[in-house]
């Protein structure tokens, strides 16, 4: 149980796919323009990631080494197409607004990277949890970015959901359009990564101090 929590923590914070591993940048910058899009992309990617990790982990002894990348891509593409069709059939709104980005999950490096680096070497349960952790980390960062970008760039929050908030006071404040353009994506990403680094540094310093003071006492 502790191991599972630690693994999830790794995915969400220590090894966060966006903030630390810098994977899947293209999808991140493109879909973090609004909370609904970010969340939709995050959840879809998480589902695909868990499924592909489980299947690749199951097949890790069957797939010959020489054709492993080709096999991974086929499996991932299969799941993405399935998710795409299911979204179109049952959640058409999300499917409409995510548009081209769902098929692009196929080439999202997070999924291939986890398949290659983790699922192909670990058991089914561990791989599933790794997929969940990484997916949650991806979703969490997308959510963070899209909240910032939607508020600053569009003047709304949760636009498209029933509890939509209008923060422009009825159009009195002109939102900074820059923030929902690609430039804004890069800016937000930069600041978020810097913030994450700062927090990690503070945590490490504190740990060092504690271990030092403990060492002094003994």
Partner 1 sequence: MSNMKKEPEKQRSSKGRRLSKEKHSSENRSLSKENRSTENRDLSKDRRAIIKLAVTLFLITSITAVMLAGVNALTKEPIANLKIETRNKALLAVMPNSTVLEDKTFTTETLTIFTLERPNGSYGYCVEVAPYGFGGPINMIVGIEVVMNEGRYEKRVVGVAITSMQETAGLGTKANDESFLSQYNGLFYPVQNEDGTLNISPSAITIGRGDVDVDAITGATVTSLAVNRGVNTALDAITVNAEGQVTFDGSVDGTSGATTSNSEDNSTSMYLSFSSMDDIWEVA
Element (H, E) at 153: helix 124-154
SS3 category, 132: helix
Report the alpha-carbon distance of residue 55 to residue 86 in Å, rounded. 19
Residue 102 in the binding site for partner 1 (CB under 8 A):
no
> Does 61 sit near partner 1 (CB under 8 A)?
yes
Contact between residue 114 and residue 134 where contact means Cβ atoms under 8 Å apart: yes
Report the candidate in 149, 50, 180, 41 with the shortest Cα–Cα distance to residue 101: 41
Nearest distance, CB of residue 37 and partner 1, angstroms: 5
For residues 1 and 169, which CB has a smaller minimum distance to partner 1 in the complex? 169
24 binds partner 1 (CB under 8 A): no
Q: Does 25 participate in binding partner 1 (rule CB under 8 A)?
A: no
- Nearest CB to partner 1, comparing residues 84 and 130: 84
Residue 103 makes contact with partner 1 by CB under 8 A:
no
Helices 124-154 & 182-217 angle (0-180, nearest 10): 120
Q: Count of residues for the chain?
A: 218
Q: Does residue 62 touch partner 1 according to CB under 8 A? A: yes
Establish if 202 lies at the interface with partner 1 (CB under 8 A).
no
Q: Which long-range contacts (CB under 8 A, 24 or more apart) does 166-169 make?
A: none
**Total residues binding partner 1 (CB under 8 A):** 39
Stretch near partner 1 under the rule CB under 8 A, chosen from 60-68, 112-120, 135-143, 202-210: 60-68
Using the rule CB under 8 A, is 44 a contact of partner 1?
no
- Cα atoms in the 13 Å half-sphere on the side-chain side of 48: 36
The residues binding partner 1 (CB under 8 A) are: 30-31, 33-34, 37, 59, 61-67, 70-71, 74-75, 77-78, 81-82, 85-86, 88-90, 92, 96-101, 149, 153-154, 177, 180-181
């Amino acid at each position: 149980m502790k191991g599972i929590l630690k693994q999830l923590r790794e995915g969400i914070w220590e090894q966060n796919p966006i903030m630390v591993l810098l994977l899947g940048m293209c999808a991140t910058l493109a879909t973090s323009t609004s909370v609904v899009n970010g969340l939709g992309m995050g959840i879809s990617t998480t589902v695909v990631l868990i499924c592909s990790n489980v299947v690749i982990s199951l097949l890790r002894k069957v797939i010959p080494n020489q054709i492993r990348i080709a096999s991974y891509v086929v499996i991932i593409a299969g799941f993405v197409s399935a998710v795409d069709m299911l979204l179109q059939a049952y959640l058409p709104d999300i499917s409409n607004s995510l548009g081209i980005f769902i098929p692009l999950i196929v080439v999202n490096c997070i999924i291939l990277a986890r398949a290659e680096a983790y699922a192909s070497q670990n058991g089914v349960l561990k791989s599933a949890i790794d997929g969940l952790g990484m997916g949650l980390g991806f979703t969490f960062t997308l959510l963070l970015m899209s909240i910032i970008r939607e508020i600053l760039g569009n003047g709304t929050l949760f636009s498209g959901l029933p509890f939509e908030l209008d923060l422009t006071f009825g159009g009195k404040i002109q939102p900074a359009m820059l923030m929902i353009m690609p430039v804004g994506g890069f800016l937000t990403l930069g600041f978020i990564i810097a913030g994450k680094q700062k927090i990690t540094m503070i945590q490490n310093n504190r740990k060092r101090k504690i271990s030092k003071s403990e060492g002094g006492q003994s």
